[in-house]
Each structure stands twice: as structure tokens, then as C-alpha cells.
Structure 1
């Protein structure tokens, strides 16, 4: 009897709950969020989705049924506070997801369930502040993860847990101040890692010990004052290391072999390199002498531009016998000693531009049998020597060069587009190719160079002022 009375009440209760749920869904409120059906078919074409709006509290249903064979999705002109947790149920075959510059703020657990086909995830230029522990569970085959230009401050030992296939990770331009020791421990296949543009001062020893396949590492634009090669003692495949933009007055690199070491803009004053390095980019530092490299015979590319090296006395290039590219631009050079390039028979590219060189001994270039590109513009060339250089070396060997940008009113003449000046004493202007020039001529060349630099600076300021005036006119 009691069961007979309770049955109608139970049916009525279920009916009331159903009506309440329907009303809640109709009004758009579930758990403080909004039940919104977003039909991506209306926003997407050929894998490009535009004008998609998803709020942080929205509960999103993307489609009635799974959409098969969609391998790539790119969101443009969209504001997506979170990745809908049904994304990979709706697109089970998705391999590449690009949500760059979409105002992404957070992840939802479980975020990547069903994402076993995902291979590339691009989330750069968003507002992410944290990578929760174990958030990538389900993305077992992810190979590329880009998180640059977010607001990441903290990472955990298990932030990248489950990414056993990851080969490329970009964390550049965030706000990271320190990293936990086990952060990269599970990334055994990691090849390329970028941590540039953060606030790192040190790295825990052993942080890369499990990343034996690491080939390219970018630590540029951080706050390192000391770099320890010991951090990478197990990385036998490391080929490219970039530590530029840190303040490293003295630096010692000790690797068995590197293809490229980049350390520009570090205020370097002394550099020692052990092991084999093929290319060194050291521009814009404070070097007054060439780096000490016991195995300098392996160096094929050397960029020393924008360092106060001066005139390079004492034949400092004698051990760099394999040089193919050499940049000595803007090194405060007034002359180059005879025999400087005696050993550089393989040199193909030479840049001595933006110095204050007046003339040289033409025999300086006798051994440059392989030279193809020679940049020597923006110097204080004597016109007669420059004509000799062009006719007896540059044009005779069909070597490529660049024309000058010096204003015509600041020079006496041009030789094939390269600015030059005549000596004040016209009777002695004939040039025999010797480097001997009077002290007065040297002083004159220095003054000319200073006037040229000052004039170029004034011109830049005028250009900036005119641009500001144009902008003000447009606003008015």
C-alpha cells in the first residue's frame, strides 16, 4: 500500500527535476556558467575558424556529433578564455590546434582526454599564468608545444607529465624566475627547448640530465651573470646554444662539439672556448681581443662586429685557418696590419664596413683566393686607394660588394657607389697602395667619421619628429 502511494510521488518528483533542469538550460545557467551550443561549422572553413567567443564560465557544446577527418584547426580573431573540454570529443582526428592570440587564460581538467592524435599545440601570445600538474594527460603523441608570450610565472615538476613524445617546447617571453629540478625529466625525446625572454638567474644542476637528445637550447634574454657548461655535460648531441642578452663579463664554454654558439649583447670582455665550435656569433660585446680558442682551426664562422677590437695587431687570426665567414664591422678599426689574412685561404665572406679605414696595403688581400663577398662601405677611404682596390682586387675577381649610404654632400666622391675622400694636399693624392698615411690625414679621417655619425644621428631625429607631426595631424 505504501509503495502504491510513493510511486506517483516519485514520478512527480522526477518530472519536477526534469522541468527545473530544462528551465535552467533554457535560461543559460549551469553551475554558474552558461550552456551554449557553438556550431563551429558556422565559424570554420577549411580548418580556419574566426570570430569564436568563449567566456571563462561558459559551458560549451561544440556540435551534435563528432566531426571526423578534421586534422587541423586555426582560430583567428577569436576570444577563447579556455579550451572547451569537449574539443577532442568533437574533433577526434585533430592533429594540430592553433589558438594563438586568443586571450586564453586557463585550462580545464580533464583538458586533453581523447587528444591522442594531437601532434602540434600552439598557444602563444595568450594570458596563461600556470600549467597545472598532469594537465596534458591524454595528449600522448604531442610533438610540438608552443607557449611563448604568455604570463607564466610558476611551473611544476609534473606540468609536462605524459608528454613522452615531445620534441619541441617553447616557453619564451614569459615571467619565469626559477624552474623545478624535475620539470623536463619526463621529456626524454626533447630536441629543441627555448627559455628565452624570462627572468631566470640560475638553473638547478641536473635539470637537463634526462634530456639526452637535446640539440638546440635557447637561454637568451634572461638574467644570468654566470653560465656553467656543466649543466649540459650529458648533452652530446647539443648543436646550437644561445645565451645572448645576458650580462656575462667573462664566459667559458666547454663542449666536445657545437655547431653554433650565440653570445651577442652580453657585455663580454673575455671569452674562452674549449672543444670544437664551428660558428661563433659574438657581435655587440665589449671584447678588446679575440676569444681564446685552442682548437680555432675548426671555426668556420666568426662574427666580432660591434666590439672595440681596434687594429688587431700581432696577427690574431693565424690559428683561424678554416674561416669561411668573418665579420669585423664596427670594431673601431683604423687600419689592418699586413699579413692579417695570410692563413684565410677559404674565406668567402669578409666584412670590414663601418670603421674608419683610410687605406691599406693592397697585398693584404693576396691570399683571399676564395673570397666572394666583400663589404667595406662606410669607411674613410682615400679615393685613389679605393680606385686601386676596386680595379686590382674587387672587380678583377668579380667579388660582390655593397654601395655606400653616405649623403653626397658629406663626401668628396664615390667609387662605384662607395664614398671616399681626397687628401687635402692634392699634390700628394696619388696612391701607391701603401698603408703609410700622415698623422694629419689620420686625424682628418677621424674627424670626418665623427661628422658623418653626428649628421646621421640628426637626420634620424628629424625623421622621428616629422613622423610624430604626421601622427598628430592624423589625430586632429
Structure 2
């Protein structure tokens, strides 16, 4: 609880507005009551200029564990913050105007465990700045203006487990920048300008289990960087434009590499969950030890009709996404080995009909998404009655406009044979059914073409950004 004696005394060096009133002229002593802006440890509308000299309460205020400043014009963490609040465990100053640290910034912050400084204007993390914050476990610095880090930027953070540097402007990292973070578990470097990482940069981070490198400028990825991380749970390299990807881990729970324009993916070792949707794959990923894969997302790739039995080694699959893969036919024995499959998505393709016996092995299926295809109405009725409804499987209704279809079966759009009357047209008018089918095919082709163009534009924009940087 905020105590009545708590106040901020500021010597104003410039005219600022605080709490709706105009500050006294330069040189005058100004006092404002902090509790006027705070309630239960949450402070809003607190404005402190970077030139103001801030003095907190002369006596320490005990048992204040959390302090949050939201949308406040604070250019720096107030001096002696942790002398005033010796028990502070969480400090949140996001969407403020922080642009600098002052030494010794964290002296007396031994109880601080979580520090959130995202969405500010910080450009640098000075060496040894965190001295005093010996027990800090969570540090978020995302969406600042950081361009450079030093080997000692995070010195003294021996207990740090979670670090976010996402959404900054980092172009390279020094080899020893994370070497002191022996307990680091979660590292987020997404949304920077990194093109490569020095080998050995993670050699001291043996507890690292989650790393996000998405939306950078990598053209290749080396699994060697994480060779010592034996308990890796998540690797995300999405949004980095690269032609090929080869992963080699003794055990990786989840690998995410969507929107990379990948043409080929090879996975050695064990990966349980692989997400490579929205790429340029013509074949499914090559995974010699595919029997450990439980989830595979290869949607939004131009795979076409899958030949042979490409999933025969994926015997442990529980989730499979084949949506938007330009598929028109599925082989009868395609899912013969997927007895544990719980979710199957074949939506947004050009499938007209299937062998109903191909679903015989899918005993565990609970979710089946097959909307936005070119289904024959007679087959769709059979599929619904003999498989989907009979086993009480969840599905999703279609969004195709009524004027483009012949009929719906339980909310799924379908078309009749061209030599049969359309239920939505007069008995002698069969041309509308053919036109509807053609419109549906064109719709799918336009969608696939649009997705391809979007990928090309992403690549062109990245090239333009690189040219601007060079200029």
C-alpha cells in the first residue's frame, strides 16, 4: 500500500506538465504526491523530465513488492528507487520515454526479480549497468532502439532465466554477450537485423530451452550453434528468407520455420513438432527418424498431389495440416499408418472426391477440417454419414458464397455432376453448375497465386531494406 508520506520532490530544469498543472519555473523546488497518480502499485500520468532531479521519500517504504508505470513520460528510472523501495520485486516501466540508464542504476536492487522496460527509447545497455540486481530472473527490453550490445551488458545477472531483446535494431552480437547467463532458459531475439551469430555464442548457456530468431535476416541456420543444448524445447526461425533448412538435434520438441520461402527441409535427429507452413516446398520434409514426429504443419506449400506413401514413417502423428497445398487427389493408402492421428486438415484445396476406405485407419481422429474444396455433393453426403457424423468428429463449416455453389451438406459447399440437375437452379439448367465449379477452381488458383506473390514481395522488401542500409 502507498503510504501518505510518499512524495517526489523535483528540481525542475524545464517546464513540464504533471497532473494537469504547470510546473514552477526553473530553479524552484517542486513537490508532487506520487499517490495522486498511483493505485495499488500502478502509476499513470507521471511525467518526469530527463533533467529533473528526483528525490524519493527520505525514509524507506517497506513491503511494496510491485511498481508499474504505464504511459508515463519518464526518461529515466528515478534515482535511489531501490533505496526507497528495498522490497521491490517487480518494476514495470513500459510505453514510457526511457532513453538512458544512470550508474549506479540498480544499486540496492537485490530483491528485484522481474524488470520490464519494453516499448521505450533505450539505445544502449552500458557495461555493468545491472550490478546490484543479483537476483533478477526476468528482463524484457523488447521494442527499444538497441543497436549494439557489449560483452558485459548483462554482467552480474547470474540468476537471469528469461531475456527478451525482440523488436530492436541489433545487427550483430559479441561472442561473450550471454556467457555470464548460465541459468538462461528463454531467449528472444526476434525482429532484429541479425544475419549471423558467432559460433560458440551459446556455449555457456547449457540450460537454454527456448530461442526465438524469427524475423531477422539469416540466409542459413547452423544447428552447430545449439549443439550443447540437450533440452531444447523451441527453435523459431520463421520469417528469415532462406532456400534450404537442415536441422540436426538429438532432441528438439518444436521447430518453427514458416514464411521462409524454403524449397527443401531436412531434419536429422529427433523433432517432435515441425511447423513449416507458408513456404515453397514441393516435397514434404525429409526426416529419417520420422517415427518421433507428433505434429506436422506443411500447409500453404505448393505440394500438389502427394505421390506414393510419403507418410509411411510418420507413425506417431497426432496432428497433420495439409491445408492450401494445391492438392486435388489423395491416395487411398495415404493415412494407413496414422492410427494415432487426432487432427487432420485438408481444407482449401481442389479435392472433388476420395476413396471412403482411406479413413478406415483413422480411429483416433477428433478434428477433421475439409471445407473450401470442390466436393461432389453425393460423395460429401456419404463422407458425412459414414465417417464424420458417425464418429462424432468436429469439423468447420464453409464460407463459400451461396451463389458460387450448387448446394451445402451440413454447411460444407459442394457441386453436382454436370449431367445432374442443380438443387439451386431450374431442372433444365445444368450450365450454372459447370460455371460454379469453374468459379471455385479459379478461386483456388487466385488464392495460390496471391500467396506466391506475397512471398515474392516480402523477399523484394528485404532486399530494398538491405540496399537502403548500404546507401
Same fold (TM over 0.5): yes
- Of the candidates 235, 245, 248, which is equivalent to residue 229 of structure 2? 235
Match of 1:381 in 2: 375
Structure 1 residues 43, 26: CA separation in 2 closer, same or farther (over 3 Å shift)?
closer
Q: How many residues align?
A: 422
CA contact (8 A) 1:220 1:243 kept: yes
- Of the candidates 216, 229, 243, which is equivalent to residue 222 of structure 1? 216
Q: Using the alignment, how far apart are the partners of 1:322 and 1:135 within structure 2?
A: 49
State the 1:428 CA deviation: 12
Match of 1:21 in 2: none
CA contact (8 A) 2:405 2:437 kept: no
Is the aligned partner of 1:180 residue 2:192? no
Q: Using the alignment, how far apart are the partners of 2:444 and 2:230 within structure 1?
A: 49
CA contact (8 A) 2:406 2:436 kept: no
Structure 2: gaps of 5 or more residues: 1-8, 15-25, 424-432, 451-471
Is the aligned partner of 1:370 residue 2:403? no
Match of 2:243 in 1: 249
Instruction: Show structure 1 runs of 4+ deviating over 3 A.
Output: 25-30, 32-39, 441-447, 451-458
State the 1:42 CA deviation: 2.5
CA contact (8 A) 1:40 1:63 kept: no
State the 1:191 CA deviation: 0.3
Structure 1: gaps of 5 or more residues: 1-24, 430-440, 459-476
Q: Using the alignment, how far apart are the partners of 1:442 and 1:253 within structure 2?
A: 47
CA contact (8 A) 1:36 1:61 kept: no
Structure 1 residues 258, 356: CA separation in 2 closer, same or farther (over 3 Å shift)?
same
Match of 2:41 in 1: 47
Structure 1 residues 37, 346: CA separation in 2 closer, same or farther (over 3 Å shift)?
same
CA contact (8 A) 2:251 2:269 kept: yes
Match of 1:199 in 2: 193
Give 3-state SS (helix, strand or coil) of 2:249's partner.
Answer: strand
- Of the candidates 277, 283, 289, which is equivalent to residue 277 of structure 2? 283
Give 3-state SS (helix, strand or coil) of 1:89's partner.
Answer: helix
Is the aligned partner of 1:450 residue 2:450? no
Q: Using the alignment, how far apart are the partners of 1:290 and 1:26 within structure 2?
A: 64
CA contact (8 A) 2:11 2:52 kept: no
Alpha-carbon RMSD across the aligned residues, in angstroms, is 2.5
Match of 1:168 in 2: 162
Instruction: Name the stretch that deviates more: 95-104 or 442-451.
Output: 442-451
* Higher normalized helix content (fraction of residues): 1
State the 1:247 CA deviation: 1.0
Max Rg structure: 1
Is the aligned partner of 1:147 residue 2:141? yes
State the 1:39 CA deviation: 3.2
Give 3-state SS (helix, strand or coil) of 2:382's partner.
Answer: helix
Residues 324-358 of structure 1: CA deviation (Å, up to 9, x unaligned): 00000000001101100000000000000000101
State the 1:238 CA deviation: 1.2
